Chain A
Amino acid sequence: DIQMTQSPSSLSASVGDRVTIACRASQGVRNDLGWYQQKPGKAPKRLIYAASSLESGVPSRFSGSGSGTEFTLTISSLQPEDFATYYCLQHYSYPFTFAQGTRLDIK
């Protein structure tokens, strides 16, 4: 199975900050990776697909990069509604695997 590891596990930041979350795969997943945002009590929402493509309707302050085993999600200027938990998901091979998540909260 492919193991997905995110860093950091938690992060405190302020409105307007630039934030980067890293996701590492234990073996190459090409660009078969998505980034999800989840708020308490809600279903996850995909922000980025194919590692770097922005989902329709998602603000342009979100961006993704990487390929193979190293990926990043960047939020260029944090907004109040961005405080949530973020997950990466590899769908390159079965079983699909999520990383453990990064909790982003207000400093």
Chain B
Amino acid sequence: EVQLVESGGGLVQPGGSLRLPCAASGFTFSDYYMDWVRQAPGKGLEWVGRIRNKANTYTTEYAASVKGRFTISRDDSKNSLYLQMNSLKTEDTAVYYCARDLGTRGGDYWGQGTLVTVSP
């Protein structure tokens, strides 16, 4: 069974940093691209970014709203995905989901999400 479990959410002050891990199981993690998606309270879904697999040299893509502040990385030896968030703003307050390869025909899977609150 495919499982994705995010953690690391919490309250952080504006300008602060936070790192969100996502633990993957039930599939060959190293084969897949991985995505982060967020959802502000009461709002719609926003794609945050993607990291490709080793075969595609772990290259990344980001939404303009987070580019230069957020970094996506992965550790295939630990079946883990990460979202490093720096220079956080109040508008980054959201539930953050990790997802397996959005758009793939093999089925995309999502974690349960972790809430990040950016507030003074």
Contacts and interface: CB of A to CB of B under 8 A. Distances in A.
Contacts of B63: 95
B11 to A, nearest CB: 19
Contacts, number: 56
A98 B103 contact: no
Interface residues of B, number: 22
Interface string A53-68: 1011000000000000
- What is the interface residue range for chain A against chain B? 20 to 34
Interface of B: 35, 37, 44-47, 50, 61-64, 97, 102-105, 107-108, 110-113
Nearest to A43: B110
A44 interface: yes
B100 to A, nearest CB: 11
Given A34-B103, A87-B45, A100-B44, A94 B111 contact: no
Nearest to B4: A43
Contacts of B37: 44
A46 B47 contact: no
Nearest to A89: B102
B112 A43 contact: yes
Contacts of A89: 45, 47, 102-103
